[in-house]
Amino acid sequence: MKPLRILLTVLLVCLACLVVAPRAWAFCGFYVARADASLYNQASQVAIARSGNRTVLTMANDFQGTVSDFAIVVPVPVVLQENQVQVSDARIIERLDSFSAPRLVEYFDPDPCASDLFEQLPAPMAASQATDGAERGRSNSALGVTVESRFTVGEYDILILSARESGGLESWLRQNGYRLPQNANQLLRPYIRQGMKFFVAKVNLEEYEAAGYQSLRPLQIHYESPRFMLPIRLGMLNAQSAQDLIVYILSPQGQAEVTNYRTVKIPSDAEIPLFVKDEFSDFYRATFETAYNREGRNVAFLEYAWDMAGCDPCSADPLTPDELRQAGVFWLPQGDAWMNAPSVFLTRLHVRYTRDRFPEDLMFQQTRNQEFFQGRYILRHPFTDAALCPAGRQYQRTLRQRHEQQAQTLARLTGWNIQNIRQRLPQMPSQLDFWWEQVWTMISGVSSR
């Protein structure tokens, strides 16, 4: 009975859409697949919850290798104390990812003879386009490095450092066992000039092994500063190729955007051929790559912007108040009072960066823009039963044009060869090859005698 009950529920929801909002009936489809961060081999994920000058930054680790080799150095605007750093649950990042990922949705055409709904179908939308031995013995003061704070959180040993010059900081890190690429001081220098501190973390092996962890948990830091930025240049030190960064920004106001690079919406609301259902990952990778090259390889792509209270269609359930608090949303009160609290607006930005195209760190700003947006790609199944009415005959004649538009849209989005796409489209019979067309012709002939 349970599958039948689910089916009836879906049908009732769609009927409600037809009654309440006939112009938006097509949203009674369902989610098929999503393009989450797992599509990319080197994708870092960061969640930022920010209200006013207060920030909670959660950094998910995509580190692969021996945990004893793991260490990160992150510039931060203030000296952090132990109570401002904690470990988080990796599932929270996974939830944000699955909820906001670009999605493939599936809709089914109704019987064109049942009503005039066919006339209300939305038209297909075009896609928018090594350390010297002498240095080892130098003291912290000689190197100009101050250990502002030192503590252990979970499986991480944390240091907060300040430095007077980049060469000294590089030397200090090397002589204390941190591996750095050559010429790291060139990227450290701008942060020191800005008076930034350095959050340094490595794995405490005893804590890690005693706890029996299978992977490194995300680190979460809390601080207050007017600077709303994300340092990405240090992430280029070890980069052999372009890096993918996905940023989830949670705000009580509205969309967040990058201020020192353009923020561009990923091409969306595109109707594409049905065969893409079985290769959505390849499709979205190609779509992102095409848009990335078209926009000059130096933009931040908006992939999702929506109030956490809902979604349409949803690729995952919205995060619960408890999950949002774990993600750093500090403005939600406890208990039932959260229902009257300010909203939580989620912005998902996707940046692919290289040294030559992103010479600056990402600078953000919050806005009050609450326009909803999602990367959404549409499969539209044609009505396949007999449609013995003038509207049904007209509907059948439009299918070839629809398939061609879908093929052209797919080629424009992905750069795939249009001829190869056309070969994979459904083969439509000629007009009088439809048996119901022949029946209709015979009836019309008899009636005219």
Q: Is residue 1 part of a domain?
A: no
The predicted-structure confidence for 330-346, as pLDDT tens digits, reads as follows: 998 876 655 555 689 99
Location of structure tokens 């044609």? 382
- Residue 304 β-bridge partners: 348, 374
Q: Is residue 9 part of a domain?
A: no
The predicted-structure confidence for 53-75, as pLDDT tens digits, reads as follows: 999 999 987 777 788 888 888 99
- φ, ψ of residue 208 to 5 degrees: the values are -65, -45
Q: Is residue 13 part of a domain?
A: no
Give the DSSP letter string of 353-406.
E-TTT--S-EEEEE------EE-EEEEEEPP-S---SHHHHHHHHHHHHHHHHH
This prediction's pTM: 0.83
Q: Is residue 10 part of a domain?
A: no
Rounded to an integer, the average pLDDT of 285-312 is 94
Rounded to an integer, the average pLDDT of 300-306 is 97
* SS3 category, 75: strand
Task: Name the domain count of the chain.
Answer: 1
Between 128 and 301, name the one with better pLDDT: 301
The range of the structural domain enclosing residue 99 comes to 24-447
Q: Is residue 58 part of a domain?
A: yes
Q: Is residue 215 part of a domain?
A: yes
The predicted-structure confidence for 13-24, as pLDDT tens digits, reads as follows: 333 333 333 333
The predicted-structure confidence for 204-222, as pLDDT tens digits, reads as follows: 888 888 877 778 899 999 9
Q: What is the pLDDT of residue 7?
A: 34
The predicted-structure confidence for 79-129, as pLDDT tens digits, reads as follows: 999 999 999 999 999 999 999 999 999 999 888 887 554 444 444 444 443
Q: Is residue 8 part of a domain?
A: no
Rounded to an integer, the average pLDDT of 398-408 is 94
Query: Tokens for 84?
Result: 């401002």
Q: What is the pLDDT of residue 137?
A: 44
Query: Tokens for 222?
Result: 């809390």
Q: What is the pLDDT of residue 443?
A: 57
Q: Is residue 142 part of a domain?
A: yes
